[in-house]
Amino acid sequence: MTQTAVQAPTDFARNMGEMAWRTVKKFPQRVSHMVPHKGEYRNVTFTEFWEQVFTYAKALHSFGLRRGDRVVILGETCFEWAVTDWAAQTLGLVSVPIYPTLPPDQSQYILEDCGAKVAVCLDAKMASKLTGVPTPLLRPAAGEEGLTDHAGKSDLTREAWEAQISDGSPEDLATFIYTSGTTGQPKGAMLTHGNFTKLAEVVRQDLDVSENDVFFSFLPLSHVFERFAGHALTMSLGATVAYAGSLVSLASDVAKARPTVIVGVPRFLENMRGRIVENVRKQGGIKEKLFDAALAQGLKKYRGEAAPFYGLLDKLVGSKIRERLGGRVRFIASGGAALAPHVSEFYIAFGLNVLQGYGLTETTAASNINRPGQNDPETVGPPFRGIEQMIAPDGEILIRGFSVMKGYYNLPEETKNAIDADGWFHTGDIGEFKNGKLKITDRKKDLLVLGNGKNVAPQPVENRLKESEFIQEAVLLGDGMEYCCALVVPDFERLKGWLSAQGITETDSEKVIQLDVVKAQIKSEIDKINKQLADFEKVKKHVLVGRAFSIDGGELTPSLKVRRKVVKEKYADEIKSMQRV
């Protein structure tokens, strides 16, 4: 089956630099960015932003960089990161972001693979990961040379700079974004200016967003999702971007920024939901009862059932939860990985519309999203106009259209394997269409083939397991086995709180999973979930893992997806123990 959206609009900027310049001229005095400053926010207008971009452009120009050259950007998401990228785009440079969490060897690999001539780093600590090229700093300490210190070394005039901005074409390369991958070395997806500018124009017509929106930005700008939604799209709209100061200040920052749109990932939404629930359970009493009643009424209202007490309970409970996010959120866009329906429904019950979307690095992030008023949490919504999608005979989702990458840098065979002769990009995801909306059912390579020949899609089962408040992560296994088994990472924070309420004060996670009461509780949770599954999907054996998965530990990619191959290698002995009779 092929799902084709209506024709895409044609009024898009030729390149990213021209797109930004159009917006600056249209909204010179509107607030472009809200920058954290001493616990508060400092507003930057588009005119002030453009002056900064020119200064950064002169600094980059001073290194002898010219159109088509590559420049690495290494650091956490912040205003300076964004300005560096926009400066690069106005000069026709190809910016190559590196995740700040990557270790030095992987960071150096990307630097060398892309052939960058300069690496702009947030600070000296980030710069220490790289060698072989100049590494000017965005936030230099006293005595250190910053990027803007180089601006005075350039002979680039304002007139010459603005005169060449429109020279680049939509087919020119704008960025390489290296896919984190679950195995092997990362691949540099080559994305063009047209990938971004055309998609931004399409999204602003298909989705209810405008210059009046305030986007809250806290995800890595090195990830394609934030790079498009919280960077390129906002610039196209003339909307405001409010940056989080840090993960530590995230909760207070979002309340102060009062965004209308939040771009998030499932792990963020799952963790926030968990903290809300845990806080309520600790308070107990009437507050817990009101919360449970409000959740139940909200879900009934969402499902079209009678909910006579919704209004009162929403005022008492839901409004306070929304206030924690600033009180103005129109919707939360979730992407980067699959979001379990029960998490989405939790927010919807409290008046926070979570719209799950879908896309990949190779498709410039956004290919689908649910629309406000037509939200189906079991799907990722219909495709954006101008984007074709097809389900291959083996169930794989194929995508064709203006958002598909040019290819992988210096990897012609990998490119050929990813994009077929007819221009279809093979996503590696399995899915189906439900009333015109795409439903992701699993990853093609992750499908388990049991010893009895049964195929099991692990993702739905894993999502069911994670519905338990005591389970943070689960990895379903079963290839060649007679049954499914699972590695289970408990939610240690919640588990320890539960134990404390019983007078058990053990805090060492490795020791916690050895407690009989914990083993019994997790088994009880799995038994309840097994009752909802087909017999061949049931988790017959499981092993508890004594620490949370992490990027540093290698179990998670920088975009917080589980590296199944790494997990299977790291926990090979535990997996073998479940295979024994």
Check residue 558 and give its pLDDT.
77
Residue given tokens 């590494």 in the structure block: 135
List Cα–Cα distances, 70 to 96, 124, 173, in angstroms. Answer: 7, 21, 10
Chain CA centroid to CA 216, Å:
13
36 strand-pairing partners? 41
pTM: 0.84
Collapsed DSSP state (helix, strand, coil) of residue 548: coil
Check residue 438 and give its pLDDT.
96
Check residue 183 and give its pLDDT.
46
Paired sense of beta strands 70-74 and 118-121, if any: parallel
DSSP state of 167: G
Per-residue pLDDT 10s for the chain (581 aa) are 566 555 555 667 889 999 999 999 999 999 999 999 988 999 999 999 999 999 999 999 999 999 999 999 999 999 999 999 999 999 999 999 999 988 898 899 999 999 999 999 999 999 999 999 999 999 999 989 899 999 999 999 999 999 999 998 999 999 999 986 544 678 999 999 999 999 999 999 999 999 999 999 999 999 999 999 999 999 999 999 999 998 889 989 999 999 999 999 888 898 889 889 888 988 889 999 999 999 999 999 988 999 999 999 999 999 999 999 999 999 999 987 778 888 889 999 999 999 999 999 999 998 999 998 889 988 999 999 999 999 999 999 999 999 999 999 999 999 999 999 999 999 999 999 999 999 988 877 777 878 766 778 888 899 889 989 899 999 999 887 888 999 999 999 888 889 888 889 888 999 999 999 999 999 999 999 999 887 888 999 999 999 999 888 888 887 778 888 889 889 989 888 987 54
DSSP state of 106: H
Please state, in angstroms and rounded to a whole number, the distance separating the CA atoms of residues 572 and 561: 19
Both structure tokens of 422:
């007819």
Please state, in angstroms and rounded to a whole number, the distance separating the CA atoms of residues 186 and 176: 11
**Residue ranges in 9-67 assigned as alpha helix (H):** 16-26, 46-61
Both structure tokens of 272:
């926030």
Please state, in angstroms and rounded to a whole number, the distance separating the CA atoms of residues 498 and 284: 13
Asked whether 354 and 365 are in contact (CB, 8 A), the reply is no
Instruction: Provide the angle, in degrees to the nearest 10, between the axes of the packed helices 46-61 and 79-90.
Output: 60
Check residue 580 and give its pLDDT.
57
Residue given tokens 């699972």 in the structure block: 486
Check residue 178 and give its pLDDT.
94
List Cα–Cα distances, 63 to 23, 116, 123, 281, in angstroms. Answer: 28, 12, 18, 57
Q: Which CATH superfamily is domain 447-579 in?
A: ANL, C-terminal domain (3.30.300.30)
The residue ranges of DSSP E strands in 204-247, in sequence order, are 214-217, 240-243
Nearest to residue 542, comparing CAs of 524, 515, 569?
Answer: 524
CA geometry: angle 172, 177, 181, nearest 5 deg: 145
Contacts of 575 (CB under 8 A, 6+ apart): 477, 485, 487, 543, 568
Please state, in angstroms and rounded to a whole number, the distance separating the CA atoms of residues 578 and 542: 7
DSSP class per residue in 278-328: HHHHHH-HHHHHHHHHHHHHHHHHHTT---TTHHHHIIIIIHHHHHTTTS-
Please state, in angstroms and rounded to a whole number, the distance separating the CA atoms of residues 80 and 52: 9
Residue given tokens 């649910």 in the structure block: 370
